[in-house]
Every structure is written in structure tokens, then in C-alpha cells.
A and B are shown apart, each in its own frame.
Chain A
Amino acid sequence: MTISPEFAEVLRAGRLEFNTRVAEARRRYPKFDPELFNRFLTHNVDPIVAAANDECRVGITNATFDVALDLVGRELCGAHRRGLLLDKLWREVIPALTGILPPQPAPLVSALCNALLNLEAQGARPVQWLQILRELGPLASAEELTDIGLLAAWRSGGAQFRPAALRIAAALPAIAQAMLGLPETPALATQLSALESNPWALTPADSTSTIREIGKFNGYGGQFPAPPIVRACEQGFLVKSENRYFLLLVDSFGEALIPASVEEYVAASHYKAAVSHAPKLYDRYLRTPRGQFEHNFCHDDVQLAWNEHSVAVFSPYSFSIGVVPLT
């Protein structure tokens, strides 16, 4: 496969400079793979350069060339899951954004790569994030793009971004409405206020009414070295697994398991949720004011922890935590 004439022209003009950068990268990264870098340039960088207008082409080539060197040098590219996601970003999303990229786009392109890798590592839905960004990104300005990316990250399962995303939604109402699928009425401010007070206030079309299972044994690529013990707290749940501690945040769109400290876990022992209807377990079912949820935890010693909005089910015989809405 050959590269586009536009890209070839820029590379030819700066041949010496580009070769020097590759030589530097080879020194910096002992595992730098020139073959892989060539493929990345051909398949991923070329479509972006080709899509750029004449004035920006050299700047965009310089920026994407350097980011590509970094990605290949850090072994983030290739046929593995992260590499395939990055391919998708570079082939489908960034070319769509060339019209709004700033004159020095390297920091923005790097930030988008970082965000994708973060969402993948956190177990969110990076493919959905890419899709939202491809559809709604070109409608924004370069300054708004990172805000839209954060809103999309929340929509794609990054529950920790909910407070920041709600602030952004208030500032970008049209995009927020389209991204979150909010109805025309009532007013957006009312809907956002409801979302702020209750993490389960939205029921997205792609959500299921079954119990949501979070975490698994770290021997199988999960997060927990031992069956987790859960304590409720105002924000979500604090989880202890052997000597590791986590903060579990859950909402309509997804969940996030974030490292926490033993002090936070201890502090959560004083928390007591003010709820009128406590959740109850009946055989294989968990009943809350929101409905009845079937769980598959072992009957013996199954335990519950709840805050004002969510209930967590856990057991000494399981490495997972089940979470359902309470209100």
C-alpha cells in the first residue's frame, strides 16, 4: 500500500528532519519497531494528513508523526486490544476532526490517545466513546473537544466523571441532549439537577434491568485478590480485598473502581444511609423500591451494603460485587 501524494510530499520535504526524529526515538525506546512505525504511518497517519487542508498539512504531519513515534516506541500500537482501539481512533475519529484541530495539534492528539487508553484500562466502553466523538466531535470547536470527550467518557461508562460531566452538560446543552438522549421537556436544568441528585435518574436505552456485576479475581485479569468486602459511603462503596482498597462508583451509564486508602475504608464504617425502604433479600431475589433483581450469589452468607441510591450484594464465596439501583 502506498501513501497519499500529499503525505509523501511533506515527508519528502522534511526527510532529513523526520529521519533524525526516528533515529532519536530508536535510541530512546530500545524496543522501537521501524516496521510497525511504517505501517502506522501508512494506515493511520496518512488518512489524517490527506484529510487536512493545505495550510495545516505540515503542522498536522509534524504533530502526528511525533505522537506516532511515541506510541510505537511505548509499544502501544499493534494487534493487541489497545493497538486496535488506537487504530480506530486514528483511522475513524481524528480524520473527522481535522477541520477543528488547532495549529499545533500534538497535545490534543496525545490527550485523545491517553483518554482512550484510560477508558480501556478502567473497563469502560472505549468503542462507544470513539463513536460518540466521531459523530459529535466535528460539531464542536477545538476548545470544546476535550469537554465533549469527558462528557462522552461519562456516557461510555466512566462513572467517576459524572460531576464534571454534569457541569459540562449545562454549558453545552445541545450536545449534551444529543449525547445523553435527554427529552425536550422538562427543561435541561431540571433534568441535570435530577441527574446530580440521583446517579440512576437516567435509564439509557442500552441499559439492562439485571444486577450489574463488577470486578473479578485478579488471577483472571480482574481487580480483586480475595472476595471483596463492601461498605457503603455517600459517594458509592468502599471495597476491601485482602490488603487493597477501592472506591466503587456506579451510575446509570457504568461503574468505576478506583484505588482508595485504608483510612477511607475505616471511615466508611460510620456511614449509615438515610433510606425509607431498606433492600431485602428473598431467596435468589433482591428487592428494592426500583424492582426485583435476580442474583446468582451463593445463598450462604450473602451480604448487602447500601447508600441512598444503590445496593451492593457480595459474598465471601464470590470475587464479584453485584450492584442495583435502590431508588
Chain B
Amino acid sequence: MPFDLFKRVSKAPTNPKGNPRKRNFDVADLYQGPLQSEFDTTGPGVALDEKLRQAYFWIVNSAIISPHYDIEYNDTPPHSFIVGDSKRRLTLPSAQSYSSYVLLPLLTFATRRKCLFVGGPGRGKTASAILMGVLAGYPVKEVRRAMQHGHPQMTIADLLGNPLPADLVGAQRMEDIRIAWRNWLGMRVKIIDEYNRIPTRTQSALLTVMGDNYAEVLNHVYECPDSAWYLTANDDQGGGTYQVIEALRDRIDVIVQALAFNPRFLGDLLVRIEEGIRPEELVPKEIVFSEAEIDQINKEILQVELPAPLRRRLEFFTSQFELSETAGAQFEYMTKDTARLSAVDWAQLVASDNGRDRLKDLGCQTLNGLSVRNLMTVLIYAKALAYFRGNSTVELEDLRQILPFVLNDKLRPDLDAPFFSQPQNAAYRSDSISWLRQLFDLSNAEYERLGLDQEDPVEKLQQEFSLGLESVSESEARTRIGKIERLVAEWCKGRKLYGHLYDDLLKLKYLHQRYTNYLYWLRSQK
């Protein structure tokens, strides 16, 4: 019997919950134990979230040496210690915590999104991506062959496929030219190695595949299946031979950094060298997912509930960043996007903005706001993380943990902002994950200070409006309009304009307009 050093999947529940358990004790309960026996088989009854956790724990325990538990959860106050001259905090989490380098790619696999691995060469970025291909059921060789390696001479034909030479010569019409599509386009896991070395023109073709899920050559279209994407780059700044086009960068959903190797784990590496072991060749069959299973996981993830109070906190956080008071003359155009589109000098714009507390205002820390795509990605990954943890509802901590990885490279810091010049915040200039998490924490603190969970007049007005306008009388509509106008007047009186207030005022304007239109309609019925 050969030793399965790397092929054992966790038999115990990977995240045991206090849910009522099965009480039909049977033969397997007696014969399962520390030694491998025929009663150890995972069986068909394993829930998909459990299977996903089994895959995670197999990867961290047997495949990828990534002992960095940077996604921290606590169920009781954790032990933490202050260390070093810079007084950094080391926390020992009190609940099951995770390594982002393994978890984020796995969530990407489950949600079929796009993940970018960044980090120096030789840190296992490509190996991790290959592992995800194997989890999808492809043989290692096939995954390797299908992997696209970015290089400066890469053409669109290299990437997508070639027209058949015979057809090219003999065809009378474009439709007669057959295309030999590249195999990787049909795979459910797509890997682009060193994507920042792909020339700009070819990047545009890649953008179509990534963004719209089809490839086009000579008027022929190849529809790709839904798939998880893994891209690697040696740094996340678009460096390399070619600048990565912004639209392509924006299509990437999460960015994970390959953290440094801890030499304390050199022994594990030695075993692999001596035994000639390549973990991607030893993936246990119990953690390989079929297409139907991934479909089902997707459905189950979307069923995870995001409670309204949590959604409000995300709204509040998002509203911090878009406002740029000096960028527009009309209220709706007072956004960073207006400034960016006009290509006005950012420093000049910031210098003219002297009304607010630039340290307190979170919006002053960023160069841009959040796009709809970013927000959708945050919501999906937060649900996926909650699902992975075996929960049916997203928790605040899920949102707090996932948000930095989604917004990394999306919400760009203004490094000239006063926040970054404070000595205690200097590390945030280079550590964008911690900065984004800190940003969310500060936003939550402000949300709690304002008591928005208890008293949120805009939400109340929205709920009133959501009940519908049917049977709302003219006088009632006027009362509501009056309420909105009083609220706007109160909020505009002597207040500084902050991002969340700006969005609230715009929302009030929206409601005001809907009621005004309704009044017009009511009058026309008389």
C-alpha cells in the first residue's frame, strides 16, 4: 500500500457548527478513526460548502505552503501583542482563520470570477493557478498546455486561434473561412501567465474574452463557457513589458499577493524535493468539482442573504469616495469622475478644496470612487465567503475581510493626502490591503457615531416610497415632498458636505422628483 502523504482529505467537518447533528449511529461511526480504512470515504452526501472547505484545507495542508492566516476571524476577544519599534500588532485569532492566497483563488473558482496573483517570481503563483484547473477536473497536462504565457510577440492569433490556411486562400466569403480556435477558450478554468507581458493590441482581444465571454476572429465568434480566470503578474502595478490597459485591469475581480516564504517551512520543501512530489499531480478525487457542482455552488452562493443593515454599511462606505466638491458646478457633477474625465490637474483641484477636515474625510484618501462592477464583485465575494464558512447570512466580518482584496487596485489611494503623511499611517502607503480594511473600519466607526442603525431618515423615506404610489393621495404626496424639503433644508444649513451627505441629498432629490412627477400625473387625471 503506497503512502498517500499528500492525498488525504480532512474527514472531520472542516468548520463544525452547533447545528443538530445526525443521530443514526452506524457501522462507519465505529470503524472511522486515525487509521485509514474503507469507512473513510467521503461519500456522495457531502455538502458542497463542506467540499469546498475540504479543498481549501487540502491545499493549505498538503499543496501550497502558505502559513499566512491574514483573513482573521474571532469568536472571543483574541490575544494580541504589540511588537517592534513600529508597534505593530500581532493577533492570534480565536476562530478559524484563513490564508488569502489560497482562499481567494478558491472563492474565484466557486464563483467563476477573475483573480490576479501578484508577487515576485518563484512564489508559486502559476502552481496555484494550475491547482485550480485540476480542481475543475482537468488533467495536469491539459491545464499546463492550455495555460497562456504572456510574451511581447504574442499575437491575437496566438491567443484566440488561426484561420485555416487552405480556407484563407480558397474562400470566397468570410463565412467560408474556418477558424482553428485555441483549446483553452473552451475550458472552465482559464490561466493567463504573466498577463502584463502581452502586447496592448492582444490585450484588447483578451479583454473581449474576459469581459464579454466570447472570442472573435474574422467575423467568426466563439462563445466561451462560464469560467474562472487566473492571471499572474510579477507586480500589481501593470509593470512588465507592456502597460496593462485599464479596462482589462478593471475586469479583474480580486488581487491576491503571494506573501514571502517562511524559511521555517523549508523542511516541507525538502520532503517534496526528495520524494519528487508535485501536489498538483496528487489532487484527491474527493475534492475535484464537476461542472454541475460548480453550477450548484453558484446557485447556493447567490442564495446567501446579505442583511439590510449590512448593505447600509456598504452603501455608507461607498458614498465616502466619489464626492469632489470643486470638480463640478452642478450638484450632480461634483464627482471625482468629472475631474478625471476633464483631465484637470488633481493637485490643483485638491488645493482648492479647503472646506473640509481632510484628515477626517475618508474621501480625501482616494483618487476615485467605486464602480458598479466593484460593488457587485464585493457583494458576490462576501456571499461566497459566508457560504465557504458554512453560513446562510453574510456577517460584517465577512464584508470587512473580503473588501480589501476586491478593492485593491480599484480604489486608488491619494498618497499626497494628509492621512498618509501621518507617521502612524506611513505603512498604509505600501500595504493597500491593510489600508482598505482600515478605511472600512473608519467608515463603520463613523456610521456608528452617527447612529445610522437606529435613525436613518433617508432609509425611512425610501421604505415609505417602496410601498408604492398607488392610493397615495395628493395631500399625502405633498406632505412627503414637504418632509423631504425640510430634511434637505436642515442638512444644508451650515453643514460641511461629506460623501455620505452628498449621496443622501441626491437620493432625497430623486425621491422629491418621483413625488413631483406623481403629483403632475395626479393633476392630469382630474
What A residues does B1 contact at CB under 8 A? 62-63, 66, 106
CB-defined interface of A251-282 with B at 8 Å, one 1/0 digit per residue?
Answer: 00000000011111000000000000000000
Q: Is the CB of A28 within 8 A of B5?
A: yes
Q: Is the CB of A113 within 8 A of B35?
A: yes
Would you call A8 an interface residue if the criterion is a C-beta within 8 Å of the partner chain's C-beta atoms? no
What B residues does A150 contact at CB under 8 A? 26-27, 30
A24-B5, A147-B27, A163-B25 known; A115 and B33 CB under 8 Å? yes
A112 to B27: give the CA distance in the assembly, Å. 11
Would you call A107 an interface residue if the criterion is a C-beta within 8 Å of the partner chain's C-beta atoms? yes
What B residues does A27 contact at CB under 8 A? 271, 274-275
Would you call A110 an interface residue if the criterion is a C-beta within 8 Å of the partner chain's C-beta atoms? yes
A115 to B34: give the CA distance in the assembly, Å. 10
A111 to B32: give the CA distance in the assembly, Å. 7
Q: Is the CB of B19 within 8 A of A110?
A: no
- The interface stretch among B36-44, B95-103, B281-289, B488-496 is B36-44
Q: Which of B1-57 contact A (CB under 8 A)?
A: 1, 3, 5, 18-21, 23-27, 29-39
Would you call A118 an interface residue if the criterion is a C-beta within 8 Å of the partner chain's C-beta atoms? yes
A108-B38, A153-B30 known; A263 and B19 CB under 8 Å? yes
A24 to B4: give the CA distance in the assembly, Å. 10
What B residues does A110 contact at CB under 8 A? 33, 35-37
A235 to B23: give the CA distance in the assembly, Å. 9
What B residues does A217 contact at CB under 8 A? none
Question: Looking at the complex, which one of A25, A71, A113, A264 makes contact with B20 (CB distance below 8 Å)?
Answer: A264
A21-B3, A108-B37, A146-B31 known; A261 and B25 CB under 8 Å? no
What A residues does B19 contact at CB under 8 A? 261, 263
A67-B35, A110-B37 known; A158 and B30 CB under 8 Å? yes
Counting chain B CB atoms within 10 Å of each CB, the highest count among A28, A62, A150, A247 belongs to: A150
Interface residues on B, range: 20 to 34
Counting chain A CB atoms within 10 Å of each CB, the highest count among B24, B26, B27, B38 belongs to: B27
Q: Which of A115-164 contact B (CB under 8 A)?
A: 115, 117-119, 146-147, 149-150, 153, 158, 160-161, 163-164
Q: Is the CB of B25 within 8 A of A161?
A: yes
What A residues does B38 contact at CB under 8 A? 107-108, 111
A114-B35, A235-B23, A264-B20 known; A24 and B30 CB under 8 Å? no
Q: Which residue of B lies closest to A161 (CB)?
A: B25
Question: Looking at the complex, which one of A106, A113, A161, A264 makes contact with B33 (CB distance below 8 Å)?
Answer: A113
Q: Interface of chain A, helix or strand or loop or mixed? A: helix
Shortest beta-carbon distance from B21 to chain A in Å: 7
Question: Looking at the complex, which one of B18, B23, B31 makes contact with A114 (CB distance below 8 Å)?
Answer: B31
CB-defined interface of A169-212 with B at 8 Å, one 1/0 digit per residue?
Answer: 00000000000000000000000000000000000000000000
Q: Which residue of B lies closest to A158 (CB)?
A: B30
A164 to B38: give the CA distance in the assembly, Å. 19
Q: Which residue of A lies closest to B25 (CB)?
A: A160
Q: Is the CB of A74 within 8 A of B25?
A: no
What A residues does B34 contact at CB under 8 A? 70, 74, 76, 114, 117
Shortest beta-carbon distance from A232 to chain B in Å: 16
Q: Is the CB of B35 within 8 A of A70?
A: yes
What B residues does A24 contact at CB under 8 A? 3, 5, 275
A113 to B24: give the CA distance in the assembly, Å. 22
Q: Is the CB of B35 within 8 A of A71?
A: yes
What B residues does A66 contact at CB under 8 A? 1, 3
Q: Is the CB of B24 within 8 A of A111?
A: no
A264 to B34: give the CA distance in the assembly, Å. 28
CB-defined interface of B260-295 with A at 8 Å, one 1/0 digit per residue?
Answer: 000000000001001100000000000000000000
What B residues does A74 contact at CB under 8 A? 34-35
Q: Is the CB of A118 within 8 A of B30?
A: yes
Q: Which residue of B lies closest to A262 (CB)?
A: B18
Q: Is the CB of A164 within 8 A of B26?
A: yes
Question: Looking at the complex, which one of B21, B30, B271 makes contact with A161 (CB distance below 8 Å)?
Answer: B30
What A residues does B27 contact at CB under 8 A? 146-147, 150, 164
Q: Is the CB of A111 within 8 A of B20?
A: no
Question: Looking at the complex, which one of B20, B33, B275 makes contact with A118 (CB distance below 8 Å)?
Answer: B33
Q: Which of A5-62 contact B (CB under 8 A)?
A: 21, 24-25, 27-28, 62
What A residues does B31 contact at CB under 8 A? 111-112, 114-115, 118, 146, 149
Q: Is the CB of A107 within 8 A of B33?
A: no
A260 to B17: give the CA distance in the assembly, Å. 11
What B residues does A21 contact at CB under 8 A? 3
CB-defined interface of A89-106 with B at 8 Å, one 1/0 digit per residue?
Answer: 000000000000000001
Shortest beta-carbon distance from A63 to chain B in Å: 7
Question: Looking at the complex, which one of A76, A107, A147 makes contact with B37 (CB distance below 8 Å)?
Answer: A107
What B residues does A76 contact at CB under 8 A? 34
Q: Is the CB of B20 within 8 A of A263?
A: yes
What B residues does A112 contact at CB under 8 A? 31
What A residues does B35 contact at CB under 8 A? 67, 70-71, 74, 110-111, 113-114
Q: Which residue of A lies closest to B33 (CB)?
A: A114
What A residues does B30 contact at CB under 8 A? 114-115, 118-119, 149-150, 153, 158, 161
What B residues does A146 contact at CB under 8 A? 27, 31
What B residues does A63 contact at CB under 8 A? 1
Q: Is the CB of A111 within 8 A of B21?
A: no
What B residues does A28 contact at CB under 8 A? 3, 5
What A residues does B37 contact at CB under 8 A? 107-108, 110-111, 114
Q: Which residue of B lies closest to A164 (CB)?
A: B26
Q: Which residue of A lies closest to B36 (CB)?
A: A110
Shortest beta-carbon distance from B478 to chain A in Å: 51
What B residues does A106 contact at CB under 8 A? 1
Q: Which residue of B lies closest to A76 (CB)?
A: B34
Q: Which residue of B lies closest to A74 (CB)?
A: B34
- Report 6 cross-chain contacts, Cβ distance below 8 Å, ordered by A residue: A70-B36, A76-B34, A114-B35, A118-B31, A161-B26, A263-B20
Given contacts A24-B275, A110-B37, A261-B18, 19 further A-B contacts (CB under 8 A): A21-B3, A62-B1, A63-B1, A70-B36, A106-B1, A107-B38, A114-B31, A114-B34, A115-B33, A149-B30, A150-B26, A161-B29, A163-B25, A164-B25, A164-B26, A261-B19, A262-B18, A263-B20, A264-B20
For the complex of A and B, list the 9 residue pairs with the smallest distance between their C-beta atoms, beginning with the closest.
A114-B33, A110-B35, A111-B31, A111-B37, A107-B38, A110-B37, A261-B18, A160-B25, A66-B1
